[in-house]
Amino acid sequence: MLQEVNVKVPATTANMGAGFDTFGMALAMYNTVGLRRVQGRGIRMANVGAHTKGMEQPKENLTVRAARRVFEAAGEPFGGLEFKMYNVIPVSRGLGSSAAAIVGGLKAANMLLGEPLADDSLLELAVELEGHSDNVAPALYGGFVSSCQRGGKTVVLRLQPPAELRAVAAIPDFFLSTSRARKILPAEVRREDAVHNIQCAALMVGAMACGDLQLFATAFDDRLHQEQRYRLIKGAKRVLRAARAAGALAAGLSGAGPTLIAFTDGDGAAIRQAMRRAWFACGVHPKVQVLAQDNQGAQGC
């Protein structure tokens, strides 16, 4: 019987332009969950790193709640456990921190119990806890994932992005909750906008499958959610224009924002600088990071 496991889980960028609530890609920025058996029946936990307000108690902590679901599914008593979370992925910034917390708890618990559940069962638990699959699927599997719900199940298509594709993530010094960023979206969309997104999304899957970066650049566009959300993010359009002018293949919102993300097949240095400068000029102090893609997903470390 295993006494201790450590799991690392990647950050994720959802939507990828046209794939609203559908696409996500894993990025090489990681949270780590340590889980070990301890004396007694209680649950101990320690959070280190990124802002964890509202997550200090085991009952409300997403990682602990997720782990509990695996123990229940495996018919094992939940207790005598210590969780240690090392959080690097910033919270409420559109980089999949809640997905990483959930997937980290599921994966760590499953490994500690000797892997009673297959990854597709972990995915269903993750979707149930998160409410949607676009971040949890790439956090679990790595790479670029297109997912949808069919007949009560989550169906995923996983593709490995072109090897040279990397992201430049400009992470602002303010939060934007996904629920707020969803509330402002209209309930109905124009048919031509829906068609535009279907066309771009189809091209994006092709671009990933064929490793075609020019097609990727063309496909990365949206008419369903980004424009409305830019109004909630001071300076967003200026920063995105700066990224494109500095040579980015594409640029837009990461998930529901407020992180702005650009993509490149270069080293990203000029884009990073341009995004930082543009946001500074608007009075926002972002942390801008060049991030490689992650193709492993959550795994023991």
Interface with ligand HSE (CB under 6 A), residue from 5, 9, 14, 219? 14
With respect to ligand HSE, which residue has the nearer C-beta, 43 or 222?
Answer: 222
Contact 160, 141 (CB under 8 A): no
Instruction: Decide: is 255 part of the binding site for ligand HSE (CB under 6 A).
Output: yes
How many angstroms from the chain centroid is the CA of residue 75? 30
Can you tell me the distance from the alpha carbon of 296 to that of 46, in angstroms, rounded to the nearest whole number?
26
Which residues lie across from 149 on neighbouring strands? 154
Instruction: Decide: is 21 part of the binding site for ligand HSE (CB under 6 A).
Output: yes
- Name residues whose C-beta falls within 8 Å of residue 142's C-beta, 6 or more positions apart in sequence: 10, 26, 158, 294, 295, 296, 297
With respect to ligand HSE, which residue has the nearer C-beta, 252 or 255?
Answer: 255
CA atoms within 13 A on the CB side of 123: 23
Window contacting ligand HSE (CB under 6 A); options: 54-62, 83-91, 129-137, 211-219: 129-137
Interface with ligand HSE (CB under 6 A), residue from 47, 52, 121, 178? 178
With respect to ligand HSE, which residue has the nearer C-beta, 132 or 238?
Answer: 132
Q: Which of 249, 283, 301 is nearest to 84 (CA)?
A: 301
Q: Minimum distance from CB of 279 to ligand HSE (Å)?
A: 21
How many residues bind to ligand HSE according to rule CB under 6 A? 13
Q: Which of 146, 168, 182 is nearest to 19 (CA)?
A: 146
Q: Minimum distance from CB of 24 to ligand HSE (Å)?
A: 8
Contact 67, 74 (CB under 8 A): no
Q: Minimum distance from CB of 250 to ligand HSE (Å)?
A: 17
Q: Minimum distance from CB of 300 to ligand HSE (Å)?
A: 26
Q: Minimum distance from CB of 280 to ligand HSE (Å)?
A: 26
Q: Which of 124, 13, 37 is nearest to 73 (CA)?
A: 124
Task: Give the interface with ligand HSE as residue ranges (CB under 6 A).
Answer: 14-15, 20-21, 132, 134-135, 178, 181-182, 225, 255-256
